[in-house]
Amino acid sequence: MQVIETQLAVGAYALAAWFCLYLLIASLLRMWARTSHLPHAHRAHITESFVSGVQGAACAVVGLATVIACRNDVMGEKYPLAVHYSSIGTAYFIYDLWAMYRSHIARISTVNGIISTFVSYLKSDLLMVVHHMTIVFLLFPAVVYRSPMGHFFLGCFFCTELSTPFVNARVILSLLGLKNSKIYIVNGLLMMTVFAMCRVALFPIMYAVYLSQQTTAPSHIQALASIPMTCHLSCLLVLAPQLYWFGLMVKGALAVMKMDTSKVSKVD
């Protein structure tokens, strides 16, 4: 009971901190000359992206520390910081549902009532809402509190957030009118590389590390079968949207390359 109370307290303080950080960044953007003239929708999106980048960087640091601390015993080693950050991460995803709603209201031209606005928000951001709800109500409880495995795998899930700062930097640079700058191109390449490593390749790596240490099972198939089904389902639920988003990134990069090629051919 004391552990649950501690986690709830950490989550409550973290939730307040995420809201305060959002309001602070929003205020600074209104005062900054470069962004004060931007539409409210752009400033709201920049604010949301900045806070998301901060959470991604913090989560990745905790994830890397957890992976390093638990790498020698992926099935048994526990890392207290990972458990505490699970409450901080849960608080962030709850906050971010509100932040995305704020950005949606800023984007639409007219607000026709709370219910209709909320329905339009769900329609426009359904995948992200489902992603957030899955993490809050399924992934964190299953991996942190219900899984018999060590925290190595929790650290791996935290490491998926390593690409988040690059994704949000891309959004911020675009809204600041720097879409044609070199830093935007470099950030885009880093974003795709890190995303592929931390959100796609990480999943087979987790299984490979588990199989390398699972010596009691006579075969890999039996070793995989010994993993709780909730773990397999959690991996699939998290991996599915990552593959979708990575596909969008690749399509976007190919479209930019085609545009650049067509411009060069016209000049020639």
Q: What is the mean pLDDT of each run of 10 residues along the chain (268 residues)?
A: 78 95 95 90 94 96 95 88 90 94 85 82 87 80 69 89 93 91 90 92 88 75 77 79 86 72 51
pTM beyond 0.95: the answer is no
Say what the pLDDT of residue 267 is.
47
8 A C-beta contact, residue 143 and residue 153? yes
What pLDDT, on a 0 to 100 scale, did the predictor assign at position 143?
65
Q: What local confidence, expressed as pLDDT, does residue 261 receive?
A: 58
pLDDT confidence of residue 168: 95
As a whole number of angstroms, the distance between CA 99 and CA 46 comes to: 11
Q: How far is CA 140 from CA 45, 144, 186, in A?
A: 26, 6, 33
Tokens of 139: 């992934």
The pLDDT value given to residue 97: 94
Report the alpha-carbon distance of residue 252 to residue 236 in Å, rounded: 24
Between the CA of residue 3 and those of 7, 10, 85, 222, what are the distances in Å? 6, 11, 14, 34
Residue closest to 154 by CA, chosen among 88, 40, 70 = 70
Over residues 192-248, the pLDDT tens digits come to: 999 999 989 988 888 888 888 876 767 777 777 777 777 788 788 778 888 888 888
pLDDT, residue 264, reads 44
Distance CA 91, CA 218 (A): 42
